[in-house]
Structure 1
C-alpha cells in the first residue's frame, strides 16, 4: 500500500496567500450593489420630499409671485444629487 506524497511546502504557502488575499479583498457582491442603489435613492428622495413639504408650508405662510414648492423641490433634487455624488466618491475610494 502506497501513500500519496505530501504537498510541497511552496504549494501550501501559495494556497495560504490566495486565501488571505481573498479574505482581505472580497469581490463585489450583489447585496452591495443593492445597498448602494438604495443609499443613492434615499439621499435624493429625502431632501426632495423635505423641500416639497417645506415649500407647501411656505406657500401658505409666505405667498410669493413664484412657487416655493417647485423651487424647494428643485433645490432638494440638487442637494440630493450632491450628497449622492459625495457618497459615491467616498465609497469608490475604498476599493
Structure 2
C-alpha cells in the first residue's frame, strides 16, 4: 500500500510539473521567440565571419591563396554550432 501512495505522489508531481511547463511556454510572447531565433543566427554566423576575415588576412599576408580561409571558415562554423548548442541547452 505504501508503494502505491509513493507512485500516486510521483504521478501527481509529474502532472503538476507538466502543467507548470505548459503555462510557462504559453506566457512567452512571439517577439521573444523571434529574438531568440535572431540571436541564435548571430551566434552561428559571427565565428564564421571571424574565421573568414582572419583567413583572408593570413592569406594576403603570407600570399597563400585560400589556404587559411577555408579551414578557418570551417573551424568558425564548428565553433558557432557548438556555441549555439551550448546556448540552447543553458536555458
Both proteins in one fold, TM over 0.5? yes
Query: How far apart in 1 are the matches of 2:85 and 2:49?
Result: 19
Query: How far apart in 1 are the matches of 2:61 and 2:49?
Result: 18
The runs of 5 or more residues in structure 1 that have no matched partner are 1-20
- Give the TM-score of the pair, scaled to structure 2: 0.65
Query: How far apart in 1 are the matches of 2:73 and 2:66?
Result: 13
Greater helix proportion: 2
Question: Equivalent residues in 2 for 1:35-74 (5 A)?
Answer: 35-64=35-64, 67-74=67-74
Superposed CA RMSD in Å reads 2.2
Query: How far apart in 2 are the matches of 1:71 and 1:63?
Result: 16
Whose Rg is larger? 1
Misfit runs of 4+, over 4 Å: 63-66
Q: CA deviation at 1:64?
A: 5.0
Paired residues in the alignment total: 69
The runs of 5 or more residues in structure 2 that have no matched partner are 1-19
